[in-house]
Amino acid sequence: MINYDEVIAFLEKEYPDMDAVTRFKQAYHTFCETGKWQSAYEVSVAGWQQLDGVMLLAPASTPDDDYQVHLTATTERSLRELLNAFPRRCTGLFHLTEKWIEDRIHDVLEGDIVQTDAGAFYRGIKRGSSTKAEQRIVSKRKDVIVSHLRKIASLKGRFEHAQFLIEGHLIVERAVADGLPIETLLYTIGFLATPEGKALLTHATAENLSTYQVSDGVMGSVTTTRPIPPIAASVHLSYPNFLSASNSLNFHFSPRCLLLIAENVGNPDNLGMTLRTADAAGVSGVLLSDAGANPFHKNCIRASRGAVGRLPLFHAPSISEAIEVLRASGWYVLGATASAESQLYTTEFDPPTAIVVGNENTGLSDEVRQSCTELIGIPMASGQSSLNVGIAAGVLLYELTRRYRI
């Protein structure tokens, strides 16, 4: 349940003089007195332990738009959550308050900056729902839809077409429910015959998603996964560089942000488990090295249980260089290694904080060790010298979030 007093306090702190905030505050006061909203506001919020973002949707005054949108976010994660919450099939006229939001909005929406009598706005609609949805049966492997999905199943195709493939009922169902920018959905005849299949496809149709029915043979030509998944979907890919061309941070953060950095994690299953853990721990984003496993590998996507696509992911060719820029920007960077003298539970740190975990076999590189503010270890009983990288990330991240609450 949304706490509107908290929402107003957050908005007034971020933008005290903005007309949209004043109008919403007045509408809320009217609601408190009459039980009715003066304007039919829809409100979405983001944040786990604290409020990090608010999206206000009000009926648009222009015929070409569905909503007038005020969007306020303090972290990469909160912005992604709010953009995912924007309804499909609807066009929004977004009042963009900061340049970084303007840069990131394209990760989920497609549109352009437009000039109105009230100023410049971003008119956008969620990717995958900008055109009339198509529902048809595809019987040939050479069909344009099947050929396209086959291309994005490869690493080269993913980045060339800025899409990645997700497979299986659970992952696709979560992607639809989470509002991810799904471009295309493919399903088998057998999936349509199941109750869960009918429910998901009905939901997808209502969300204006294009769906295509195929045989097991056609689905098998798209993916190498066996048994053949009953459903697959393409999702818009967002994977920006962590550093800009001028070597500054291309990552927006608040003073209490938590970032996970994974250097050269080689196994896609391990990487997916690590991303799932980071998502559950509420990190603001994850930075990955270019040399490690690809986060859009099908095994990583499956193991992440929906984190890939929902969690902001960034990459960098040099993790040590990225750490140096982080530290220059006020971040405290803790490198996790079994050989560290300092231990997790006795180490003091100042937020914003980044945790760095390394390769399953070799750990952190020498360059990254030297770049960190401090190296820490996780206390362990005798018998084991290290933990699985996903488990280690969980222990570290949850200890930090526990301290953030204090």
Distance CA 157, CA 143 (A): 17
Beta strand 67-73 with 91-96 is: parallel
Rounded Cα distance, 82 and 90, in Å: 14
Overall domain count for the chain: 3
Q: What is the pLDDT of residue 88?
A: 94
Are residue 357 and residue 389 in the same domain, yes or no?
A: yes
pLDDT at 64: 87
Closest CA to 71 of 51, 88, 89, 56: 56
3-state secondary structure of 376: strand
Q: Residue 277 belongs to what domain range?
A: 258-405
Same-domain pairing of 162 and 122: no
Q: Say yes or no: 211 and 335 in one domain.
A: no
Of 175, 75, 178, 83, give the one whose Cα is nearest residue 124.
Answer: 83
Angle at the Cα of 246 from the Cα atoms of 241 and 251, rounded to 5 degrees:
40
Residue 367 placed within a domain? yes
- Are residues 275 and 329 located together in one domain of the fold? yes
Coil, strand, or helix at residue 253?
Answer: coil
Whole-angstrom CA distances from 35 to 22, 27, 29, 30, 264 are: 19, 11, 10, 8, 55
CA distances for 188 relative to 148, 211, 352, 375, angstroms: 17, 11, 47, 50
Is 333 in contact with 372 (CB distance < 8 Å)?
yes
Return left, alpha or beta for 217; rule: phi > 0 is left, psi -120 to 50 is alpha, else beta.
alpha
Task: Please tell me the predicted confidence (pLDDT) of residue 406.
Answer: 55
- DSSP letter at 286 equals E
* Helix (H/G/I), strand (E/B), else coil: 327: helix
249 domain-assigned: no
Domain boundary among 72, 93, 126: 126
Inside any domain, residue 246 = no
- Please give the Cα distance from 334 to 354 (Å, whole number): 6
Q: Note the pLDDT tens digit of each residue in 279-302.
A: 999 999 999 999 999 999 999 999
Same structural domain for residues 385 and 311?
yes
Q: Which two tokens stand for residue 111?
A: 């549109």
151 in any annotated domain: yes
Q: Is the peptide bond before 351 cis (omega within 30 degrees of 0)?
A: no
Phi, psi of 249 (to 5 degrees): -65, 130
DSSP letters along 131-184, please? S---EEE---TTSHHHHHHHHHTSHHHHHHHTEEEEESHHHHHHHHHTT--EEE
Give the amino acid at 30: T
Residue 39 lies in a domain: yes
Same domain, yes or no: 293 and 375: yes
Residue where a domain stops, chosen among 236, 267, 283: 236
Element (H, E) at 198: helix 195-206
For residues 12 and 117, state if they share a domain: yes
List Cα–Cα distances, 230 to 17, 273, 364, in angstroms.
52, 23, 40
| 3-state SS assignment for residue 271 | helix
Residue type, 291: A
- Measure CA of the first residue to CA of the last residue in the chain; give whole Å: 24
State whether 50 and 147 are in the same domain: no
pLDDT of residue 159: 93
- Do 160 and 200 reside in the same domain of the chain? yes
Residue 212: strand, helix, or coil = strand
228 and 205, same domain (yes or no): yes
Distance (Å) of CA 329 to CA 57, 127, 326, 367: 34, 33, 5, 19
User: Residue 145 sits in a domain of what CATH number?
Assistant: 3.30.1330.30
**Measuring CA to CA, which residue among 250, 254, 261, 252 is closest to residue 333?**
261
204 with 95, same domain: the answer is: no
Asked whether residue 333 is domain-assigned, the answer is: yes
Answer yes or no: pTM beyond 0.75: yes
The predicted-structure confidence for 335-344, as pLDDT tens digits, reads as follows 999 888 888 8
* Res 340: pLDDT: 83
Indicate whether 279 and 360 sit together in one domain: yes
Q: What is the pLDDT tens value at each position of the chain, 406 positions in all?
A: 899 999 999 999 988 778 888 999 999 999 889 988 877 899 999 998 899 999 999 999 888 899 999 999 999 999 999 999 999 999 999 988 889 999 999 999 999 999 877 778 999 999 998 778 899 999 999 999 999 999 999 989 999 999 999 999 999 999 999 999 999 999 999 999 999 999 999 999 999 999 999 999 999 999 999 999 999 999 999 999 999 999 999 999 999 999 999 999 999 999 999 999 999 999 999 999 999 999 999 999 999 999 999 999 999 999 999 999 999 999 999 999 988 888 888 888 889 999 999 998 889 999 999 999 999 999 988 888 788 999 999 999 999 998 877 5
Q: Which of 236, 266, 289 is the last residue of a domain?
A: 236
